[in-house]
Structure 1
Amino acid sequence: MAIEMEVKFRMDADTWAKIKSDYDRERDLHHIERQSNQYYDTSDRRLGAKEIGLRLRVLEDRSILAVKRSTDEAHKRIEIEETYEDAPESLPPHSPALQELMTEVGIQYDDIAPLVMLRTERFIYEIEEQGVKAEVCFDDVSIVGTCREYKLYEIEFELVDGSEERLYQIVSSFKNQYGATVEESSIPKLVYALNLVNCD
Structure 2
Amino acid sequence: MKKLANWLRNTASSDGGAALALAPPLKEIRGQFLALPGEIRNQIYAYAIYPALSSLTIANCSKREHLAASALHQPLFRASRQIRTEALSYLCATHTLQILGIGTANLFFECAGEAIKQVKQIVIVQAASEIVGMPACEESIERLFGYLEEAEALKGVRMVEEGVGKIFDFGEGEEHAGVLRRVGGLRERGVHVVVEFGDRMRTS
TM-score (norm 2): 0.25
User: Larger % of strand: which?
Assistant: 1
Ranked by relative contact order (alpha carbons within 8 Å, sequence separation 6 or more), the top structure is 1
User: Larger % of helix: which?
Assistant: 2
The structure whose Rg is larger is 2
TM-score (norm 1): 0.26
